[in-house]
């Protein structure tokens, strides 16, 4: 059992618990916070003590926001991005350019491309990339659904915006090979995206330019 005040992955630090109270409750919070991405033991401790020291209303709002997002946000049945309504905001917006689909690997990549403000078409989220090492092939991704959309929607261009690492490139090559015979223009963003670059982490200017300067595949 982990000692009090020491998240399982933590280095040593001196417990300095408030006197009395349920130490296990605090330890549980430290453990849960420590499991979040990017939160090390020190940050977990800082957040936990911040919550302990601020009023109960702040913690209640945080807890409610977490529960609400899990209850209300689901995958859009059309593009597999996140949605709160029957479809996501982009799919529901008829003013978006219906002739373009930007294909990304994760829903967070949609947010990254949206932030550039340069793209006004539709999206399709694959839900990952082809990765033989992880036993992920086209059947594990939303490829079938993408082909279904190309068959019925008035799409003229598919922009492949998977990351520029090995898996992202392999996925783009695979998709290009099966989409081009359908008579749809296939492009890939390249300029401005460094090799191995992640869409999510690219700055808005570079990503926006990468989309504008896309090349034929
Ligand atoms: Zn959607």
Which tens digit of pLDDT belongs to each residue from 16-73?
Answer: 555 556 779 999 999 999 999 999 999 999 999 999 999 999 999 999 999 999 999 9
Check whether 146 has a pLDDT greater than 70. yes
Q: Distance from the CA of 15 to the center of ligand 1, in angstroms? A: 47
- pLDDT band (50, 70, 90) for residue 150: very high
| C-alpha–C-alpha distance, residues 32 and 47, integer Å | 11
| Cα–Cα distances in angstroms (integers) from residue 100 to residues 10, 71, 129, 153, 210, in the given order | 48, 31, 20, 10, 16
Q: Ligand 1 mean position to 209 CA, how many Å?
A: 24
CA dihedral 58, 61, 67, 70 (to 10 degrees): -110
Q: What does the alpha-carbon distance between residue 36 and residue 34 come to, in Å, rounded to a whole number?
A: 6
pLDDT of residue 66: 95
Can you give the pLDDT at residue 92?
97
Confidence class of residue 143 from pLDDT cuts 50, 70 and 90? Answer: very high
Statement: residue 6 has pLDDT above 60:
no
How much helix, strand and coil, in percent to the nearest 5, is found in the chain?
Answer: 45, 15, 40
Cα–ligand 1 centroid distance for 200 (angstroms): 18
Residue 124, classed as helix, strand or coil, is strand
Quote the pLDDT of residue 21: 60
Please give the pLDDT value at position 23: 78
Distance, CA 129 to ligand 1 centroid (Å)? 19
Q: What is the mean pLDDT of the chain?
A: 87
Classify domain 82-216 by CATH architecture. Answer: 3-Layer(aba) Sandwich (3.40)
Tell how far the Cα of 114 is from the centroid of ligand 1, in angstroms: 13
pLDDT at 191 over 90: no
End-to-end CA gap in the chain: 55
Cα of 51 vs centre of ligand 1, distance in Å, is 36
| Residue linked to tokens 């280095």 | 11
Q: Are 28 and 17 in contact (CB under 8 A)?
A: no
Angle at alpha carbon of residue 28, lines to 25 and 33, rounded to 5°? 130
Percent of the chain surpassing pLDDT 70: 86
Centroid of ligand 1 to alpha carbon of 165 (angstroms): 25
Gap from CA of 75 to ligand 1 centroid (Å): 8
Q: Where are the domains of the chain?
A: 23-72, 82-216
Residue 160 CA to ligand 1 center (angstroms) comes to: 17
69: left (phi over 0), alpha (psi -120 to 50) or beta: alpha
Give the C-alpha separation, 159 to 121, whole Å: 10
Residue 79 Cα, ligand 1 centroid: separation in angstroms? 4
Cβ neighbours around 48 below 10 Å, total: 21
Q: How far is the CA of 89 from the centre of ligand 1 (A)?
A: 7
What is the CATH architecture assignment of 23-72? Orthogonal Bundle (1.10)
Tell me the average pLDDT across 202-210: 81
Tell me how crowded residue 41 is: count the other CB atoms within 10 A of its CB.
19
Q: Take residue 180 and report the two structure tokens written for it.
A: 């081009």
Ligand 1 centroid – CA 199 distance (Å): 19
- The arithmetic mean of pLDDT across residues 112-119, rounded, is 92
pLDDT exceeds 70 at position 14: no
CA of 157 to the centre of ligand 1 (A): 17
pLDDT of amino acid 214: 87
């Amino acid at each position: 059992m982990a000692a009090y005040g020491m998240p399982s992955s933590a280095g040593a630090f001196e417990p300095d618990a408030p006197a009395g109270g349920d130490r296990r409750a605090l330890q549980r919070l430290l453990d849960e916070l420590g499991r979040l991405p990017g939160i090390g033991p020190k940050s977990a401790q800082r957040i936990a003590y911040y919550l302990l020291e601020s009023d109960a209303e702040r913690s209640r709002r945080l807890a409610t926001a977490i529960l609400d997002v899990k209850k209300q946000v689901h995958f859009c049945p059309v593009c597999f991005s996140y949605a709160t309504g029957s479809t996501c905001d982009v799919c529901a917006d008829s003013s978006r350019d219906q002739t373009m689909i930007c294909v990304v690997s994760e829903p967070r990549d949609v947010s990254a491309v949206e932030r550039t403000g340069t793209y006004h078409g539709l999206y399709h989220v694959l839900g990952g990339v082809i990765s033989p090492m992880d036993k992920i092939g086209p059947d594990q991704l939303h490829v079938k659904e993408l082909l279904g959309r190309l068959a019925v929607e008035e799409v003229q261009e598919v922009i492949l915006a998977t990351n520029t690492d090995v898996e992202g490139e392999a996925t783009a090559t695979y998709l290009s090979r099966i989409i081009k015979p359908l008579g749809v223009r296939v492009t890939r963003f390249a300029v401005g995206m460094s090799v191995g670059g992640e869409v999510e982490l690219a700055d808005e200017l570079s990503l926006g330019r990468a989309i504008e300067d896309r090349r034929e595949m």
